[in-house]
Amino acid sequence: MDKAKIMAEDPQRNFRSAYYEKVGFRGVEEKKSLEILLKDNPLDVEKLCTFSQRFPLPSMYRVHVWKVLLGILPPHSESQALVAGYRREQYTDVLQALQVMRFLHAATPQVEVYLRMFQLEGQELPRLSELTPPEEEDEDFLAIAKAMEEIVEDPVDCYWLIKCFVNQFNNKFGDSIPHLPKSLEHYLSQEDGRLLAHLKACGALRRLPHSLWFRRCFAGCFPESSLQRVWDKVISGSCKILVFVAVEVLLSYKIMLMAMNKPEAIVQFLSSMPQENTDAIVTKAIDLWHKYCGTPMHSV
C-alpha cells in the first residue's frame, strides 16, 4: 500500500495531523511523505498525482513536481539534468529565432515573449505584417502566463510550465470545459438552492465569468498563493476542481450576490472580486471536491 493511502487511512496520523495544524506545523507528515516519494528512482508519477490530489504540495517542491507531472522532466533522476539542459537550449533557440525575425524587441513584455514562442513552436505564428491585438484564446494564454510568472522565477522553467500546462489542459480537458457551467449549476443546487434560484431569476447564471474561471483556471482572479493550490489539482489530473472553486466563490459572497438584482453588477463583482479571503475559498472548495468526488484519480 502506498504511503499516501496509509496516511489517509491511519486515524493516529489524522490525530497527529490535527495537532500539528493547531501548533502551526500543518503538513509536516505530508511533506515527509512527499520527500520519500521524490527519492524513488524512477519517480512514480501515479503516486505523485495521488499525493497532489490528496494534499497541498509544499512550495519548495511544487515546481519540480509540476515539471515531472507535465512531462517536462523524466521520472528517472539520472536523466533530469540532461533533459533540463535540452529544454534550456530549445528555449534559447526559439527565442533567438523570434529575435532574428524581429517579432521581439527590448520592450516586449515577457508574457508576450512566451506567447510568440508558443505560437512559433505550434506553427501558429502570424506573419509580422498581420499581427493584431490578442484574440480571446491568446488572452487566456497571457493570463495563465502572467500568473505562472508570479509563481516561477526562472524564465526557462516558466515558459515550459506555461506551454505544457496549456497544452495538457486543452488536450485533456478541452471537451469537458463546455460542460463545466452545467456542473456548476448542479453542485450549487446541492449546496444552496436559494442562491441558484436568485441567479437564475435575475438572469445572472448564464452570464457568470466562465471564461475567467474555467478557461483561464482562475488566473487573474486569485493571487498566486491561492491559485497554485488549485493548479496542483488541475495538473495532477482534475479540471472539476475548477467547478468547486466557482461554487465556493458564489457561496462565500452569497449575502452580497443576493442583494444584487442586475446581472451586470453580479458579473462585474465576480470578475474583480476581493482577494483577501481567497485562501479560505480554495480550502473550502477542495473540501467540497473531496466531499463529492472522494479523491478522484485523473478525474474530470
Q: How far apart are CA 11 and CA 134, in angstroms?
A: 52
Give the pLDDT of residue 299.
44
Statement: residue 176 has pLDDT above 50: yes
- 286 shares its domain with 252: yes
Give the pLDDT of residue 15.
41
Give the pLDDT of residue 274.
87
- 165 shares its domain with 280: no
Show the cell assigned to 163: 506551454
Contact criterion met (CB below 8 Å) for 209 and 269: no
Give the pLDDT of residue 27.
60
Work out the pLDDT band at 7, boundaries 50, 70, 90: very low
Q: What CATH number does residue 118 fall under?
A: 1.10.8.680
| CA atoms within 13 Å, Cβ hemisphere of 76 | 4
- 250 shares its domain with 229: yes
pTM of the predicted protein model: 0.87
Host domain of residue 47: 1-69
- Give me the mean pLDDT over the 12-27 stretch: 42
Contact criterion met (CB below 8 Å) for 162 and 70: no
Work out the pLDDT band at 30, boundaries 50, 70, 90: confident
Statement: residue 26 has pLDDT above 60: no
Reported as a single tens digit per residue, the pLDDT across 194-230 is: 999 999 999 999 999 999 999 999 999 999 999 999 9
Of the residues 173, 197, 232, the one at which a domain ends: 173
- 78 shares its domain with 134: yes
Of the residues 10, 41, 69, the one at which a domain ends: 69
Number of domains the chain contains: 3
- 229 shares its domain with 164: no
Give the pLDDT of residue 25.
40
Give the pLDDT of residue 296.
52
Residue 236's alpha-carbon distances to 104, 146, 169, 233, 298, in angstroms, are 34, 21, 11, 5, 7
- 167 shares its domain with 185: no
Statement: residue 239 has pLDDT above 70: yes
Statement: residue 285 has pLDDT above 90: yes
Give the pLDDT of residue 295.
60
- 288 shares its domain with 235: yes
User: Before 223, cis peptide (omega within 30)?
Assistant: no
Statement: residue 249 has pLDDT above 90: yes
Statement: residue 275 has pLDDT above 70: yes
